[in-house]
Structure 1
Amino acid sequence: MFARLFNPFRFRKMSLQSAAEGILETHVTWEEAENKLQEALNTKAKFGKNKSVVHVGEGNGFLSRIGLITCDWDGAREDEKLPKQFALKMASCMAAKKMEEVTPEHMRLDEETTRQMWNFFEIFLKETHNAEVKAYNFLRKFEDSVAVPHCFYTVPFSEENKLAGSIALEYLDNTRISHVYQTLSVAQVKQVARELGVMQGLSVLHRVENEEWLSQRDVYTAFWKNFTTDVLVQMFGPLKDMDPSMVESVDAVIELVPEYYGSNFATTIHTQYGVKPVLVNGDLWSANVLIDKENDQIRALIDWQLVHHGTGVEDLLRIAFSGMTSTDRRAHMDELVELMYDAMEETLEGAPAPYTREQNRDLYELLLPHAGFFFAPVAMPLFLTTMADPTLSDEDKAQKKTVVMDKVRGICEDIVVFHKRNEHKKKFEWKSADFAPNIPNMTAAAPKSD
């Protein structure tokens, strides 16, 4: 312990942006993980000399590294049933850093602005990790009734722990995720819709509206503060370069950037609309759904870093945007909205619903452009990371590109359609009154020239 605390390497790497000496180059050590799991399982058994870790989260997100830990338990009692494997989620900027590396040179900002952005992003990352810790603690109340993995332990960031935030979760074997360049079937998205409805109903029954930490979360304002309208326009730019047929739809969306940039409507819509909130994952894109490899059934909804109070259709929009073809999404969205509401109503068993069916439909239409603006540009760096894989053939890249372009084209088109559809409705506040970028000089920052 003394050697670990006074290791000069550990103090030199005082940032989540740099590789460290811990598990998967994070600041989480094997000793810390072992001690925490021993405490959670009430055991004295150790991981064993043949313990191992495999990185299972590559290319699936921005805010963490996920290790599949295999334990070679040493010293376990005969009556102990200890997990052979578990998933260790460790907060880290390394995944986002890797995505930055594959960003075309001409799209990058100047060095000083980039440095400031990363510093603010690290603060954002710590806040989101701590929120996910609280989310899993809340979900423990009904984790046996809904598709979430069991949480063994959580380690939040604090004044005493500035670098080693982690969450240890049950490992659901024989599962897979669906990347942005893949598609979910309509039947699978229906399963997600039902799970969302159940989760929303349970959150109401467990008085989620009394969770003050959720009511204070403004995740989208915090996210957008790390960008400017110019940066957001640049994020849409590659879409036109990759598929010239998208020029018209992307240009139409770019015209709306000043209106939607900085939108925190998803976290305030329930208050402004006058309805009770439910628990919202906030980041339920397709890679955050675990699917059984054998029967294609939905096993779990994961990643709760952007959890907040809101309305359930937000999560449904995100999974539909990221997982379905544009044709399937448009053909089945009304049915999915109804399925989700049915499941919530059944779970409530006669208890008052937070909003009516008609209100739920209206909330869906109001939120669609906001959810689209948040997801469409982010899909590109996720996709570009995949395209940078040297083992992919040109045929594979072309196939993946076709899938992603279809999804993003549909999102862009529908942002414009629903923006116009909502114009006659009651006007709402879309962003904080004092909203401004974290970095004052970002408004003057320009991308590097070729």
Structure 2
Amino acid sequence: MSLYEAADGILETHVTWEDVEKTMQESLGTHAKFGENRRVTNISDMKGFMSKIALIETDWISSQLAFAALSKVMKFDGEDGFSEEKLKKLGVLTRDVHNREVETYKLLVKFDNKDIPYTKVYGLKAFSDENDLKGFLILDFIPNVHPMSMHDSIPADQLVPFVRGVATFSALAETLSPEEKKFAGGPEYLELFFGEVFDDEQMERQFDTLRSSFGDQHLQIVDNSIEILRHYNKLVKKYTRISEILGFKLVLNHGDLWQTNMLHSLGEDGKLKLEAIIDWQAVSTLPPGMDLSRLLMGCLSAEDRRVRGDEMLKIYYETFKEVLGKELFSFEELQNSYSLYFPMMAMALLPLVISFLDNSQISNEEKSEAREKTVLKLVAMMEDLIDVHDYNMENFGEFLKI
């Protein structure tokens, strides 16, 4: 029995209706039951890669089944996805990140800050040991969510509440004791990510995917980008010591900022309204530029990122300083950490976006239209990657030596 094997519980996990029902009864102080007509809907398609997301009220069940399916889509370890040996190893990571999210939700409830919208919590079940197969969260259902995917862009104005939200979370976390923050991951974040998910062999497969996505188009810029990414891939372990080497301050980062980890509704005016920030499994202590590099690269259009990127960084910086009541890091330090993490996040993003688009549940006509915009966005990302690399080499050449 393991987290990556299908079971007879909800959505083939080990979590049963009785587990969820008991937790809800304790949370709400009731003896009410779900009843014979209970139903569950899987809403985790291309979303919860370390979880199964089941719509009951809303129940998040930690499982490797979704990640195993994703590994086939992304051809991790070849056409058949992750091997059984790899999935067994990732079981430790699955338990760790789920328990991290449990502790983060406890903090969100404690902070209860209007600028960090989160889903109401009914129950939290952490994994107690390596043999425990029943970790889950029971969260409120947010209706009328506007679905977004990795290839979608969010207008800069409508991304501002999210930037303020993550800055507020990071600043409030600075008021916690070291004991209260010990649940979070550490600066070895990239080592774990690239070591467990994108090892060297998988990375080369991702680069092949990137080349094939563009064909003969943009061949030179793709090859130049891959050479730059190979350089940074050799520096992953050095990034674990980036604070020690360069003196960057470390704060709690969300760690996985992308479109499906922010729930928006869509107003009659066509504008997005942030309803909740979700999926706090990757919370880690890192320079603040890590979160922002992932967020701005993935969620903004190329034009918005180039024209208004510094403005978004400034909003984060000012919000953090206002909430904490003092300056922890300078704006220049934030810009520099953003630039240094830009290539690392590009390494994760560039090969994935087209694959996610190709496997999204939209019509072929919609895919064709989205692909045109996505290609332009990725080309701009590669152009900027080259510029950022030049800036990094000029300003942090010693750190970037292999």
Question: What TM-score, normalized by structure 1, do the two folds share?
Answer: 0.79
One-letter amino acid matched to 1:254: I
Check the 8 A contact 1:233/1:257 in 2, yes or no. no
In 2, Cα distance between the equivalents of 1:32 and 1:315? 35
1:39-80: CA deviation from partner (whole Å, max 9, x where unpaired): 2222222222332222222112421111111xxxxxxxxxxx
In 2, Cα distance between the equivalents of 1:190 and 1:206? 25
1:97-136: CA deviation from partner (whole Å, max 9, x where unpaired): 32344457xx853879833323223332222112212222
- 2:281 maps to what in 1? 305
Q: Give 1:381 deviation, angstroms.
A: 4.0
Check the 8 A contact 1:292/1:298 in 2, yes or no. yes
- 1:404 maps to what in 2? 374
- 2:309 maps to what in 1? 333
- 2:99 maps to what in 1? 130
One-letter amino acid matched to 2:218: M
1:362 is aligned, of 320, 336, 341, to: 336
SS of 1:331 mapped into structure 2: helix
One-letter amino acid matched to 1:330: R
In 2, Cα distance between the equivalents of 1:396 and 1:419? 34
- 1:82 maps to what in 2? none
1:99 is aligned, of 58, 62, 70, to: 70
In 1, Cα distance between the equivalents of 2:347 and 2:74? 20
1:378 aligned onto 2:365: no
In 1, Cα distance between the equivalents of 2:373 and 2:81? 36
In the TM superposition, 1:113-152 aligns within 5 A as: 114-145=83-114, 146-152=116-122
Q: Give 1:161 deviation, angstroms.
A: 5.0
In 2, Cα distance between the equivalents of 1:99 and 1:275? 34
Check the 8 A contact 2:343/2:389 in 1, yes or no. yes
1:30 is aligned, of 17, 25, 34, to: 17
Higher radius of gyration, 1 or 2? 1
One-letter amino acid matched to 2:43: V
Distance 1:165 1:429, change over 3 A: farther
1:65 is aligned, of 52, 55, 58, to: 52
In 1, Cα distance between the equivalents of 2:202 and 2:32? 51
CA RMSD, aligned part only? 2.8
- 1:166 maps to what in 2? 136
Q: Give 1:335 deviation, angstroms.
A: 0.7
Question: What TM-score, normalized by structure 2, do the two folds share?
Answer: 0.88
In 1, Cα distance between the equivalents of 2:237 and 2:147? 28
In the TM superposition, 1:240-251 aligns within 5 A as: 240-244=211-215, 245-251=217-223
1:194-247: CA deviation from partner (whole Å, max 9, x where unpaired): 222222222223346862232646333222223432320211222222223232
In 1, Cα distance between the equivalents of 2:294 and 2:81? 33
SS of 2:133 mapped into structure 1: coil
SS of 2:218 mapped into structure 1: helix
Distance 1:110 1:302, change over 3 A: closer
SS of 2:327 mapped into structure 1: coil
One-letter amino acid matched to 1:126: R
Check the 8 A contact 1:324/1:407 in 2, yes or no. no
In 2, Cα distance between the equivalents of 1:288 and 1:427? 34
In 2, Cα distance between the equivalents of 1:403 and 1:21? 42
One-letter amino acid matched to 2:289: V
In 2, Cα distance between the equivalents of 1:366 and 1:217? 14
Q: Give 1:355 deviation, angstroms.
A: 0.5
Check the 8 A contact 2:209/2:351 in 1, yes or no. no
Check the 8 A contact 2:321/2:328 in 1, yes or no. no
1:418 aligned onto 2:388: yes
In the TM superposition, 1:156-195 aligns within 5 A as: 156-159=126-129, 162-195=132-165
In 2, Cα distance between the equivalents of 1:265 and 1:298? 36
SS of 1:48 mapped into structure 2: coil
SS of 1:62 mapped into structure 2: coil
Distance 1:407 1:110, change over 3 A: closer
Distance 1:402 1:162, change over 3 A: farther
One-letter amino acid matched to 1:163: L
2:5 is aligned, of 18, 24, 28, to: 18
Higher relative contact order (CA 8 A, sep 6+): 1
1:221 aligned onto 2:195: no
One-letter amino acid matched to 1:331: V
SS of 2:184 mapped into structure 1: helix
In the TM superposition, 1:209-358 aligns within 5 A as: 211-214=181-184, 216=186, 218-226=188-196, 227-244=198-215, 245-261=217-233, 263=236, 268-294=241-267, 296-348=272-324, 351-358=325-332
Check the 8 A contact 1:277/1:354 in 2, yes or no. no
SS of 2:263 mapped into structure 1: strand
In 1, Cα distance between the equivalents of 2:302 and 2:156? 12
One-letter amino acid matched to 1:312: P
Identity of aligned residues (%): 27
**5+ unaligned residues in a row in structure 1: which ranges?**
1-13, 70-84, 434-450
Distance 1:307 1:215, change over 3 A: closer
Q: Give 1:180 deviation, angstroms.
A: 1.3
1:296-317: CA deviation from partner (whole Å, max 9, x where unpaired): 2111111111110123332222
Q: Which moved more, 1:216-225 or 1:165-174?
A: 216-225
SS of 1:66 mapped into structure 2: strand
In 2, Cα distance between the equivalents of 1:267 and 1:189? 29
Check the 8 A contact 2:164/2:315 in 1, yes or no. yes
Distance 1:246 1:338, change over 3 A: same
Distance 1:148 1:208, change over 3 A: farther
One-letter amino acid matched to 1:290: L
In 2, Cα distance between the equivalents of 1:40 and 1:161? 25
SS of 1:153 mapped into structure 2: strand
Check the 8 A contact 2:168/2:319 in 1, yes or no. yes
In 1, Cα distance between the equivalents of 2:162 and 2:315? 10
Instruction: Count residues in correspondence.
Output: 395
In 2, Cα distance between the equivalents of 1:381 and 1:156? 32
Check the 8 A contact 1:154/1:168 in 2, yes or no. yes
Check the 8 A contact 1:209/1:215 in 2, yes or no. no
